[in-house]
Structure 1
């Protein structure tokens, strides 16, 4: 016999203790998540998510039944093993997002161990709602933000033109002639998207209608955000054109943001009203989203507590997972020995160059360890090449290599052509060169761009593959250093692009033999951390 029904205090104490131990094991990822909620407006709603989830579970407590046998908890125990494995792997690679999703999976696991798969059917959606409290990794946020900036800028300019105002768009810069407005990260729409997506998910859950309508209600949050954010940018452009740049600053700017978010909510409810009419129901606005009466019945009580010995297995697993995670959290990155870019030569073959430098604004944004910019000119010709490399000795805590694909459009350049190429005859260390090749254009100006990522001896072109190798090497090599190499050459209007290709490839033959001194390969001599 493995159940007892007369010890409710002991049952609650054991399962409550399991949750407390779980919070202790995941405390690092919880702290970082709460820090993000505090510092990033996109996730300032994160504090409300667990409260809403807990409330939705509480009002449906009468539908839950404690499981009485270990076999009914096996699914939960299996999920808990996977969740704790994510905790350990996230600690090894210092990928907090992996740990945070592991925390949500662990809550699913403990809920299933306590109430079985039948109880999980009741609690699945409230627990799934917790996903909205987990911040996206920085590289996804940066890429998403840059794409939303471009879309919002374009739609906003179309609105300004519809108001019969002359305007010119260069990337994220809206040129009104007298005034120029830059659509920065804060205006990308992410501040609306994440809170609105959370609200849309909750509304879809509580909306009385078929599944396809619920799905559309949730999915509509993104186009609604993009459209309304573009409308806001367009309105700001019109106001600035008529009354000056004060219209894009201070209280009015912030008020417009709140007004747009509230309007998004109104449109969401209008959409639900339309769906209710389609389904043949004539619901008023305050009836569209309601908690079903049967969920909150006054006589609702938790069923009699049952002591299932699986709770002891949960406690043991959480303790073991937490101890294993703590063992690896103290690991410090191996910092490889390398020569600082300060000593990078300004003469490569018949190419002569002079150094250039980034402003403090870009240094703050890029968070790099070391970098070099050299503008090279070939002797006896007008051929010029801009060489840039950014090195990161550790990419664990938000300092990650930025892809030119995200940065190029923001400067007003359009990517006309993009492809990957490999040059087996050219090598850095033991690895052949694989690079991304882009032709970019702004007005009548053209440029040819080569770039690739140097990741601990590998030459990689795919941004997502970069993240995979970063995760893999953090675990297996205890290293997360890496670099970006970028070459840019201007292309004259009448110049054949193949000549520009030959120019960059000839330059690379002089460049590549020099790089290994500055960009560590797979086998390195460790040294103390240094900013280079």
Structure 2
């Protein structure tokens, strides 16, 4: 009876603590890049059941390690909430599962549970900044490799950035075609294939290391096949293959290649190693003190929940003027406000925003402005690095990025981050900065650190992200475009104070 009560209590406390974290986690699982996460939990449970014979006959709870893991999970939970980083909260979920294993079976059970826990970690989508970094790099690698393949088979092709020009069709290797959605499930596949088909550790490591180049190479082959079909059959057939069947075919090819590699590596093992199978014996039972520790753990999770709710009740939201009253005409600039549809506003997550195009009467240039403001920030509604938004569509490639120090001569009294984006025939100069609680920051990680610190010290997480864009003219230098934006910032920042509290 005590065991049942402890199980129900820990399950209830865990569900209550992480209840508002399930929607963002499931939303990530619903995305195409992380849809494989749906099968990770069943896989982890199945692998744990397979390894039940490795459990020690006598289980000794790892009490100190268990409570340390509980408090570490609580720390990551609060840090993730305070800094608006979902990945930390998801990691806290995983650590809480590890704590349960330590309380029930102890460290001696890690021989059985370590691998299932590693598999379970694949259910945690990586932080967005890793997603952005990998997506951008994989797009360029996939584009370059696919062009080399097409050139090898004598297909005339030209590449500029992530755009592949075949003459009769242009292939835009956007985020969805970067190969990211094949990378993580392929790595997971390599981990499982190595576990199921190979006995030696070095063989499993080789299979896992082969997953990344396999995912990249097969994705590049997918793009090259599209080019071959467009050239040899028809553009319509190529487009249909590109959007429909190619993903499944290429992933099946990845499976075949990794299984073939695994079988090849087994040639270097003795027959006894390949055929050895551990027989299932009587496996260990949970310790009699485990239910007590689970009940105590559930109480701690409950305290974490109450502490988090208490921090929300003391949240400070400063008074400010709405962007509805922001002047669209000032100095030498005449602006026209733009409004987003409901879906974009929802994805932005901001409480207020101003978006528009300002005409510089002196230079005749159009400057795009987007400022999003948040009364408070939390996971799924926080200011974030705009690189992913700028690279998310339109075929833009990131040419360079750099921090620009304050320039008093140009009238810009603070640092900004500059991005140079390009695509065939066009260049875009973009600037952005985080303006939050009296600070102007360009580093998103430093911004997250201050967000966590201010949520504790000031009970404030309000702030804004300011983004400017200027389309450079043919032959125009970046320095000339920078002067145009600096002049705009000098006038714009002087009237911004009432709308973004210090």
Is TM (by shorter chain) over 0.5?
A: yes
Partner of 2:91: 101
Partner of 2:468: 486
Kept in 2, the 8 Å contact 1:339–1:518? The answer is yes
Any idea what the Cα deviations from partners look like across 1:358-397, whole Å, max 9, x if unmatched? 7758667655541323333243xx4635242230425435
TM alignment of 1:13-24, pairs within 5 A: 13=4, 16-17=7-8, 19-21=10-12, 23-24=14-15
Kept in 2, the 8 Å contact 1:437–1:448? The answer is yes
Partner of 2:227: 237
Out of 267, 275, 278, the position equivalent to 2:257 is: 267
Kept in 2, the 8 Å contact 1:26–1:99? The answer is no
CA–CA distance in 1 between the matches of 2:21 and 2:340?
Answer: 35
Out of 299, 312, 317, the position equivalent to 1:319 is: 299
Kept in 1, the 8 Å contact 2:59–2:106? The answer is no
CA–CA distance in 1 between the matches of 2:7 and 2:77?
Answer: 20
CA–CA distance in 2 between the matches of 1:356 and 1:155?
Answer: 43
Q: Does 1:518 align with 2:490?
A: no
Partner of 1:421: 404
Closer, same or farther: CA 497–17 of 1 in aligned 2, 3 Å: closer
CA–CA distance in 1 between the matches of 2:194 and 2:277?
Answer: 17
Closer, same or farther: CA 518–193 of 1 in aligned 2, 3 Å: same
1:482 is paired with a residue of what secondary structure? strand
Kept in 2, the 8 Å contact 1:66–1:115? The answer is no
Per the normalisation by structure 1, the TM-score is: 0.79
Out of 349, 353, 356, the position equivalent to 1:370 is: 353
Q: Does 1:45 align with 2:36?
A: yes
Q: Does 1:145 align with 2:129?
A: no
CA–CA distance in 1 between the matches of 2:365 and 2:88?
Answer: 44
Per the normalisation by structure 2, the TM-score is: 0.83
Closer, same or farther: CA 26–128 of 1 in aligned 2, 3 Å: farther
Q: Does 1:116 align with 2:98?
A: no
Kept in 2, the 8 Å contact 1:171–1:411? The answer is no
Kept in 1, the 8 Å contact 2:223–2:242? The answer is no
Structure 1: gaps of 5 or more residues: 1-8, 522-532
Out of 410, 427, 440, the position equivalent to 1:459 is: 440
Any idea what the Cα deviations from partners look like across 1:73-106, whole Å, max 9, x if unmatched? 3222221222233334445556443232112212
1:513 is paired with a residue of what secondary structure? helix
- Paired residues, number: 494
TM alignment of 1:402-441, pairs within 5 A: 402-408=384-390, 411-423=394-406, 425=408, 433-441=414-422
TM alignment of 1:332-343, pairs within 5 A: 335-343=317-325
Q: Which 10-residue stretch deviates more, 28-37 or 131-140?
A: 28-37
Partner of 1:293: 277
1:220 is paired with a residue of what secondary structure? helix
Kept in 2, the 8 Å contact 1:156–1:231? The answer is yes
Out of 32, 40, 57, the position equivalent to 2:23 is: 32
RMSD between aligned alpha carbons?
3.7
1:133 is paired with a residue of what secondary structure? coil
